[in-house]
Structure formats: structure tokens, C-alpha cells
Amino acid sequence: MKTRADAWERGIAGVVRPRCGRLLAAAALCLAIPAARGQGATSSIATASPEPPPSASDAEVPALFQPGACQAGGWSITPQFGVAAGFNSNLRLQSSDEVASPFVALLPGLSAERREGDDSTQLAWRSEWTRFTRSPADDTLNTELSSSALRVLGDRTAMTWNLALQDWHDAIGLATAGQVAQTPDHFHAAALGAILRHDAGDAAQHRFELEPTLSTKHYLNHREVTAEADADTASLVGRYLRLLATGVRAGPELREIRTHYPAGSEDLSDVDTRELATLKWDPTATSAGAISMGAQQRRFDALRPAYQGVTWQADTQWQVGRSTVLSVGTRREAREAPGEDVDEVVDRHLEAGLAYDPSSRWHATFTVSMGTDRYVHSPVSRDDRVRSAELAIHSDLTRRLRLSLNLGCAQRHSELSAFDFTRWLGSLELSAGL
């Protein structure tokens, strides 16, 4: 699979991701809803990590930066704007002859929320307009539109859905050792996901969840390479969780993911099945987390042999001090590999992060990660080691202004030296709201 770095995320990016059509964005596909209650329920759009546990410091010393909202016809509308300036040491993730450049970025955004009793609806727009002073060919304009909603269908039944549309760019990374690094790949993507949850039994002892998702991704440029990565995906997740103790649930989970590549030249279209045991515990004053472990099988439509292996994902957080939250996550999975001339990439990943909020004005996060990518049935032996580190320091100047310093480093070391790279990235960002 052609490996890409995440597009600029608020002026700093440091982790390498696959270029495939399975995921549009974490927020578009990873949905979560609380248990429906007669007295009301709220919605939550979750990322790959669980919801952070409540922080004593957050409760006693809230962040000073609190952008305001205006009211219009029942909607609460919150505009924000950011401007960033920084330096990228390796725009195209090359092992040699790196393209380095200062950059400036404009980061507008707008969100709107409407609540009617227990139900809620959210709309959001964000864009990233980035200009590189030494490499105009790498300039990008990225835009994302999203919508989500929570509908409480009864005392113990609720549904949430999320729709996201992207006009975006992937940063550059080589697909083959002999390739020349190109300008960013431009793509359109869309994803629609939902979760239907029903609690049954005394004290909601039994929880049933059904999670369907549809997504598509289509590249617009560099078609001689990117056509193979166009993908349409449909998935269905079924989950049963039994209440073991207050806030703690466990049970079986089945995931079925169908990925179709319209180009079809590599016969990579497949069905990915995962049979998991899942443990989740709700956020408390000290911790939150979710752990899933089981078997994974990938069956191709033609030619390629089936893959079978162990898969897991764990995300946990702990309140380790009045102002400090520690998070640890790990995963192992076989993922798609269009354009790499391999069957799949087996990814093992470990990440740790620390969030520190000493006061209402100052906030900091530090994240480190390491992982290995094993390329299955590669014509040339290839294993990659990927590492990254990111530091963000935020100073809330006023309720409407925040100044952020972002620093990051990403590094890949491969058995094939052509895929090695090191990238340093730094930016200073000013965010403003009403």
C-alpha cells in the first residue's frame, strides 16, 4: 500500500497512515452514543481513543479559551479561525534530496448545534489553506464538511449517525523504490456511519449495538499510480456487551468489512472478518478505556491466499495527578495495501501520551509512538519501523484567543533504504473565536 503522512492537522502532523479507502476520517466512522435514558441523553463523536476521563483540574480550573456562539433559529453557531506559520523539513517524505520549506496556513472553521429535548444535530465545516514559500507545487487547499445527530428512540434505545465529505490531499510517500516523490495526491472521499444501541434487562444489564458504515475514496491526480487506491467500502459491526460491574461491560464483537477496488488490476478486493472479545469501562474520576482482542481473516476475491492472524486494539487513559492525564494505546492488524505489490501490511503500533493542564491559561500535550509494518508476500523483503513524537503547548491569552506552539518529528527506517525518511515539523498558531 502506498504510505502517506497525514495532511496538515492544525499546523502539525507526524504519523504515517495508509492510503486506502477504508477510512475517511476517525470522526466519520468511529461513533459513540451514551446509554439512552428517560431523563435525557447527549451525543458524542469519538475518535479512535476512548472518551477522556473527567479531570479534577478541568472541573476546578476550566480552560480560559472558550469561543462563544451566536444563536439563530434554534441553532448555536460557533465560528473559529486560525493562522499558522512554520517549517517542514521534508515535504515529500524522501530519503534524500529532501524538499524543505517554510509555510503559512489559514484554518477557518464553523460549527452549529441544535438541541430538541433529548435529540441533537451538529453541522461542521473546516478548511486548511497551506502555502509553502519554497515549493508552490506542494500548496494545498483542504475542506471537510460533516454532520452528525443523536436520536433517542425510547427509554433504552438510541441511534446516532455521522456523515462526512472531504476534498483533501495526502502528503507524499513512495510506493515503489524506483518511484520519484510527487506533489500531494488530491482525493474526494465520503463516509456515512451509524450506531443503533439498545439496552435490555434490569439496570441495562444487556447492551446490543449494530454499526453499519459506507465509505468511498477517489483520487483525482497522478492517476497512473493513484487509480489502484480508489476504493469503496461497506462494513457491519455487531456487538453484545454484558454489564459486569458499574460502568464495566464485556462481550463478543463481530466485524465484517468489504473493500472493493474499482481498478481491479491487483485483485485486492477482499472481505475482512474479525471475531473479537471486547471490554469497555466508562469514564470515571480516574480512568477510561476499551480493549478488543481476537482473530482476523482476510479473504481475497481471486488469486491471493487468505490471511489469518491475531488482532487487537486497546486505548486507556488514567488521571495520574490533579492536572495530568496519561493515555496508552496499542494495536495489531493486517491492513489494505493497494499499489505496494503485496497482499497486506501487518501493523503493530504502540502510543503513549501525556496531557498537562497546570492552570486555566496553560495546557500541554506530549505524544510518542512506535510501530512496525511487515509487508506480506512482498517481492523483496521489507519491514519498516516507524516512530514519531509530538509536543503541543497552548497559551490561552483571553477567552477568544489561543496561541499554540507545535513541534513534531516522524521517522521511518526500512529494510529498503529508499523508503527511509525523517521529517521535522514546527509551527506557531494563533486561534480566535467569538
- State the CB neighbour count (10 A cutoff) for residue 102: 15
Q: In tens digits, what is the pLDDT along the chain, a chain of 434 residues?
A: 333 223 222 222 222 233 333 322 222 223 222 222 222 222 222 223 333 333 333 444 688 999 999 999 899 999 999 999 999 999 999 898 899 999 999 999 999 999 999 999 999 999 999 999 999 999 999 999 999 999 999 999 999 999 999 999 987 666 666 667 789 999 999 999 999 999 999 889 999 999 999 999 999 999 988 898 999 999 999 999 999 999 999 999 999 999 999 987 678 899 999 999 999 998 888 899 999 999 999 999 988 999 999 999 999 999 998 899 999 999 999 999 888 889 999 999 999 999 999 999 999 999 999 999 999 999 888 999 999 999 999 999 999 999 999 999 999 999 998 899 999 999 999 999 98
Residues near 172 by beta carbon (within 8 Å), at least 6 away in sequence: 4, 5, 91, 92, 93, 181, 182, 183, 184, 185
> What 3-state DSSP class applies to 377?
coil
What's the pLDDT tens digit per position in 295-321? 999 999 988 999 999 999 999 999 998
The pTM (predicted TM-score) of the whole model is: 0.84
In the DSSP assignment, the letter for residue 59 is: H
How many Å apart are CA 343 and CA 314, to the nearest integer? 25
How many Å apart are CA 367 and CA 393, to the nearest integer? 12
- All structural domains of the chain, each given as residue ranges with its CATH number in brackets, are 3-433 (2.40.160)
The one-letter amino acid code at 191 reads A
Q: Which of 405, 410, 379, 385 is nearest to 394 (CA)?
A: 405
